[in-house]
Amino acid sequence: MFFKHQTYFTAECFFKVSMLKEVYKRLSDFNPSSYASTRNFENGSCSELSAYIARGIISPRQIMETLQVKGYTQKEWAGFLQQMAWREYFQRVLQYNPRLFETALLKDPDGTYHRGIPVSVINAQTKITALDRALKKLYNQGHIHNHLRLYLAALICNVARVEWQSGARWMYYYLLDADLASNYCSWQWVCGASRNQKYYAHQNNINFFCNTQDAHTLLDVPMEAFPFSAIPESLQLLKEPQLYSPYMPENTLKLNPDWPVCVYTPYNLDPLWRKNIASNRVLFLDAQWMEKFPMCSHTLEFIQAAGKEIPGIQFFWGSATGFMEQIARYTTYQKEHPVVSLRGISYDSRDWLFSDGYEPGMSFFKFWNAVKSEWGL
């Protein structure tokens, strides 16, 4: 009997007031001064903005500039800026490595790996309190703390010896803040596909950061016991999850022939983008892409709810070919994003946090040291 993913989340809970008011309320409530010292704790300080950032509703630069306007000092926001830099670093990595979803950035992890997810993980029955709690929150709310994401990835890849591609696709499916670059790069980082070491989650570490007191779990072993010589019995039974995006038939757009087309995507739902020009506004949901990288219903509900905040927007669900056939005669604009790229379109630059600074193969900390001076660090 598999765990029943009863979804208590509804998109409306994010939009009791207008979308931007909700974003700015969360930003107003966020205090970055305690972030650096508590962010790794399950109940530590966080901005609760990741879903809005992933959807392009607000940019990391806008967030940082707002924190400065509010009067926080460089010392207070520097730790938060560094974590935001990780997100941008992964986006830059994706620009240069469009196949990172299938191919290791550095090398394939050594040994034999399997497809599927351990049934004990799917059912939230690992018997590790913090992980089972996090899995239920992931299924029900579409969110999981960043540190818990690493713990789960380490358990799945480095203990159960599951292919990182399988694990990344499974977690991406449920995440409200599903970002392909951050998610897949993080899984590669954990399993050693993008660097020369693996990340292991130890029970003492989990207890410390998650305020639990578990003992005698499969991870309650001396650190030198990693890597395990054999897969623990509780992780041996695997199942390939059936992950599908909800199907919607391809539709016909009703376009004003005198206006250009502004194309929105799940990664650009900025309600202020080109808001002062008369245009046909269309949210393009690429059915072929979502078949390859499916999203669950609550993530799509969130995307659709955010889209509906953009005045006059239409939705197109279908293939890129079918979409381009309908807009081919129009001047068309889109914000640049490596995941959704259509030919023959004028691209606006994203609101990057840093001017660039990335070079192929560069580690995060080399990137960070190259760009942090732009913010006076």
**CB–CB of 203/151 below 8 Å?**
no
Encode pLDDT of 26-73 as tens digits: 999 999 999 988 999 999 999 999 999 999 999 999 999 999 999 999
The enclosing H or E element of 239 equals strand 238-239
Every domain of the chain and the residues it spans: 13-96, 117-239, 261-348
Q: Please report where in the chains the tokens 């399997």 appear, as a residue.
A: 114
Q: Is 54 exposed, middle or buried (0-12, 13-18, 19+ CB in 10 A)?
A: buried
- Predicted local distance difference test score (pLDDT) of residue 4: 34
**CB–CB of 171/146 below 8 Å?**
no
- Predicted local distance difference test score (pLDDT) of residue 19: 78
CATH match for 117-239 among 3.40.50.1980, 3.50.30.10, 1.10.579.10, 1.20.5.50: 1.10.579.10
Q: How many CA atoms lie within 13 A of 192 on its CB side?
A: 17
Q: Please report where in the chains the tokens 């979409």 appear, as a residue.
A: 323
Dist CA 131 CA 163 (whole Å): 19
Q: Could you say which residues of the chain have pLDDT below 70? A: 1-17
Encode pLDDT of 146-157 as tens digits: 999 999 999 999
